[in-house]
Every structure is written in structure tokens, then in C-alpha cells.
Amino acid sequence: MKFLCHFICIVETQQLLFFLLLLVADIVHGKGQKGDKSVAKCDEQNNKEAIRLHNWGDNFKFCTQNIEYPRTTAEVQQIVRRAQKLRVFGSRHSYSKIADSCGTLLSTLGMNSIIAFNGSRPTVTVQPGITYTDLAPILYAKNFALPTLAGIAEITIGGATQTGAHGSGLSNSNLATQVRSMRVVLANGTEAYFGPESVELRAVACGLGAFGVITEVELNLVPTFDTISYDFVSLPTDSLYAHFDEMHRMGNNVLMVTTFANISVWDRVTITVVANSSQHQRIANISNLFGASLSLAPNPPLESEANIVQPWYYGLLHFRLGLSGSDGIRLETEYFVPYKNGVPAIKALFDLFPQIRHIVSALVIRTVKGDDLWLSMNNGNGPMVAIHFTWSDNRPSKAKHAVSQIEKVLTKFGARPHWGKYYTMKPSQFLKSSIYPHLNDFKKLAENLDPTHKFRNRFINENIFESEQIDD
């Protein structure tokens, strides 16, 4: 019995020593990582061993574990001065690697305050990490609104504007066009102001993170409004082709969705109008929309409920306030074509459907008003049609073939990809003067404001500068 007790004591002591050794090793390893420049190399071995941050769709992991979480402009300036390479992320909702870096990552989530209201302009000034989920109800309570929202509200102001996030509507431009002014910490650590009279604001507002770290954003506001949404189900595909323009002019925000369950009909067309507007009066008594029936049933996870007057920040969303998108882990792809090419492009995609149906989850069609921002996907005088795919598998390797097939079709219609979505197009296919006439101006400004290329990563080099040089 004494022998047994002695044996147990030895085992327990050995286990305790082993645990303490592991604890010490972890502490040493953690300290080593914090200052170890090898973290930035992001080699294959580190990738396997490190538990790294991933994006929302979990289709990629960020290259480095060297992540900073500032709360003030002064802290941002200190971080920028120290860093050799740096990129910024917010809600991590991008499916491309636009925000990735193998040097330093800077999260804006701690910079989430409202700085000031100006009721006479009217504008609101915020830190870049605040989300539309947090901002919208506050604006509504003060009788203000943003002209439009993206499909989801769980994205940051900074990230949404930098990637050109958008909602829907022929009268609604993307979210970056709401920017009246910005403050940005440049590569040398100084803070620059880009005001409403600055030509450079057209580059910086939708700047892809290429100019520096945004610290303040001033957004233009409009008087508050309420909305009401109408869901029409089982729209014949031929009717969509024939009445595409008419339907998109019926509402402030129009959404067309098909899951390809039946290619002869579209699942749903949602038309959202401003309550008590002329559009509301025209659509209120329509029970059949070109063969589609009015549905009175709620359509989760959509925010807008049928025939119910709601605040603007409910009706303009495609997902409930607080949700970050489709249920489960998904991969998203989106392209923009000139409005006149919208229907021909959709027809061509439907011819491709038999080859991609095994992996496509949904196709969503929206429209976006054109703008004058230099690298906005909607740059130009006319509206654009946004063609959005959700894939049933979040692994790019599984969707890559289908995506490349789609791109072959859409390139013929002047398509350009969404900077924040997954795509395989070569820059030579869309970086054209006919699509981005101010591309060279953008590149010159980036070179001037960031001469050491501190804010460039693989994505920026390959997709904007068409360079094989990897600055990470």
C-alpha cells in the first residue's frame, strides 16, 4: 500500500512538473513571438503551427499574429511609425485578401465612437471602427438617416467605404460616396485631412487602404424616413428579362434573388419604397408583379417584413440588424456591369447554369448608381448592375473553376470585380482606362503619400500596381 501511494505521488509530481514546463514554454514562446520578426515572414511552417485570425467567411487566415488594437489617433500614429508593413481590418467581412498583411495588422474595432454631430450640414463624424448596427439607431433617434445601407449592418464604416460596399437602387450610390471628409494617418505617422473640396478625397474615400489608416470619417446625412417592403415570389424568368428596368424603377431599393431551384422562375423580388412616397402609392395595390405573387409572409433572415412600415435602417438591409450575412460559412463573389449590359449578362449566366449548379447557393441582382470615386467599382456616369453569387462551399479551391467560368462570360460585358469579394480575374482584364480612367492618378497619389510602400500588400501590388513584387 505504501508503495502504491509513493508511486502515485511520483506520478502526480511528474505531471505537475510537466505542466509547469509547458506553461513556462508557452510564456517564453509568447514573448518571443511578440518581438520576433520571423512572424512577418509567414512561412509555411508558421502557417501550420500558428492559430491565426480568419476572415468572416473562414475562406482564408490572416498571415500574421502581430495585431494591434488602438483606441485613439495617437496610438495609431505610434503603431504606424513603428511598423515596416501594415494593413488595416475592421469586421473582417471581405472575402478577398485586401486587408491581409504579413507584417502588422491594425484592427479598428476599438475605435468605435461617435465624435460629433453637425445638424446644419447635416453630418456625423465617427471613428472608423463603428458599425452601421451601432450607428443607424442613433441617427434615427436624432431624426437623421444615411441615404442607403449595404445588405448587412455588421460592417465597419471604415471597411465599408474603403472597399466600396453598396446597397441597391438606381438612385443609391455606394457607401463611400457618403463620405464628406476623412482624416488619415499617413506612412510617416502624420495625420492628413481630406475635405469636401479636395480632389484627393475621390481617391481616399474608396482607397482600398492604400493611403494610410483612417482615424475619422465625416458622413453626409439626410432627414430620416421610414420604409415598407413588398415581396413578390416566383417571378417568371422571361418577365425579369422583359421588365427588368421597370421593376428597378419601382422602388428605392430592389433585390432579385434566385437559388436556381427552378430556372424558369426567380424565387423572389423585394421592392422597398419610402413610406408615403409616390412609389409607395403606385405599388401599394399591386398583388401580381408580371406573374409574381405578392407574399405576406416574413422571409427570414431578411430584416424587412412584408407590408409593415419600418425605420429606414430595417427596410434597407437584406439581413436582420445584428446578423453578419448568410447562415453558415459561405464564399461570395460579385461583379458589376454597366446597366445596359445587365439583362444580356444575366441571360448568358443562365446558359452557364448547368455547369455551376452543384456549387452555387444563390444569385442576387441589385443596381447601384454611378459615382466619381477613382477606384469605385461603380465609377462612371451611368448605373451599374451588381451580380452577386453565394457559393455553398467556402473553400476557394472548390469554387475556383465555377468562378473562372463566370468571369469568362462576364468579361464580355465590361465586368469588374468587387474589391472585397473572391475573384480570379487578372488585373489586365479589368484595369482599363475605359473602366478606371483615374487609375494612374490613384497610383501616383499612393506613391506620393506612401513612398516606402508601407501600406501595400500582395493584393494591392497585384491588383492595382500589377506588380509581381511582394512587399510583405
CA–CA separation, 162 and 99 (whole Å) = 10
User: Has residue 86 been placed in a domain?
Assistant: no
User: Has residue 32 been placed in a domain?
Assistant: no
CA–CA separation, 298 and 88 (whole Å) = 38
Q: How many domains does the chain have?
A: 2
Report pTM. 0.86
Q: What is the pLDDT of residues 349-381, one digit of tens each?
A: 999 988 998 999 999 999 999 999 999 999 998
- What is the pLDDT, as a whole number, of residue 401? 95
Q: What is the pLDDT of residues 40-97, one digit of tens each?
A: 334 443 443 346 899 988 999 999 999 999 999 999 999 999 999 999 999 999 999 9
User: Which DSSP letter does residue 346 get?
Assistant: H
Mean predicted lDDT score pLDDT of the chain? 88
User: Do residues 231 and 217 share a domain?
Assistant: no
Percentage of the chain modeled with pLDDT above 90: 78
- Please state the φ and ψ torsions of residue 318, each to the nearest 5 degrees: -100, -15
User: Do residues 189 and 284 share a domain?
Assistant: no
Query: Sorting pLDDT into bands at 50, 70 and 90, what band is 23?
Result: very low
Percentage of the chain modeled with pLDDT above 70: 84
User: Has residue 193 been placed in a domain?
Assistant: yes
* 406 pLDDT above the threshold of 70: yes
CATH number, domain of 189, equals 3.30.465.10
CA–CA separation, 168 and 249 (whole Å) = 11
- The whole-number average pLDDT for the span 151-177 is 97
User: Do residues 407 and 378 share a domain?
Assistant: yes
User: Has residue 353 been placed in a domain?
Assistant: yes
User: Has residue 297 been placed in a domain?
Assistant: yes
User: Do residues 360 and 217 share a domain?
Assistant: no
User: Do residues 217 and 230 share a domain?
Assistant: no
User: Do residues 122 and 219 share a domain?
Assistant: yes
CA–CA separation, 13 and 392 (whole Å) = 51
- What is the pLDDT, as a whole number, of residue 158? 98
Which is nearest to 213 in space by CA: 103, 97, 106? 106
- What is the pLDDT, as a whole number, of residue 469? 58
- What is the pLDDT, as a whole number, of residue 9? 43
| Domain end residue (candidates: 223, 253, 268) | 223
User: Do residues 270 and 401 share a domain?
Assistant: yes
CATH number, domain of 399, equals 3.30.70.2520
- Please state the φ and ψ torsions of residue 161, each to the nearest 5 degrees: -70, -40
- The whole-number average pLDDT for the span 316-333 is 69
User: Do residues 263 and 162 share a domain?
Assistant: no
- The whole-number average pLDDT for the span 113-133 is 98
* 19 pLDDT above the threshold of 50: no
* 196 pLDDT above the threshold of 70: yes
Which is nearest to 60 in space by CA: 95, 9, 31, 90? 95
| Domain end residue (candidates: 223, 255, 290) | 223
User: Has residue 19 been placed in a domain?
Assistant: no
User: Do residues 423 and 283 share a domain?
Assistant: yes
CA–CA separation, 274 and 187 (whole Å) = 43
User: Do residues 258 and 318 share a domain?
Assistant: yes
Strand order in the sheet with 104-107: 67-68, 104-107, 86-89
Which is nearest to 224 in space by CA: 322, 122, 324? 122
* 324 pLDDT above the threshold of 80: no
Q: What is the pLDDT of residues 395-404, one digit of tens each?
A: 999 999 999 9
User: Has residue 205 been placed in a domain?
Assistant: yes
| Domain end residue (candidates: 170, 192, 223) | 223
- What is the pLDDT, as a whole number, of residue 471? 56
Query: Sorting pLDDT into bands at 50, 70 and 90, what band is 468?
Result: low
Query: Sorting pLDDT into bands at 50, 70 and 90, what band is 466?
Result: confident
Q: What is the pLDDT of residues 375-396, one digit of tens each?
A: 999 999 899 999 999 999 989 9
- The whole-number average pLDDT for the span 166-176 is 97
Name the residue with higher pLDDT: 328 or 168.
Answer: 168
User: Has residue 457 been placed in a domain?
Assistant: no
- The whole-number average pLDDT for the span 194-202 is 98
Domain with 207 in it: 114-223
User: Do residues 196 and 309 share a domain?
Assistant: no
User: Do residues 339 and 357 share a domain?
Assistant: yes
- What is the pLDDT, as a whole number, of residue 318? 78
* 281 pLDDT above the threshold of 60: yes
- What is the pLDDT, as a whole number, of residue 32? 36
CA–CA separation, 299 and 55 (whole Å) = 27
* Distances 284 to 250, 274, 295, 423 between C-alpha atoms, Å: 11, 12, 13, 40
- What is the pLDDT, as a whole number, of residue 470? 56
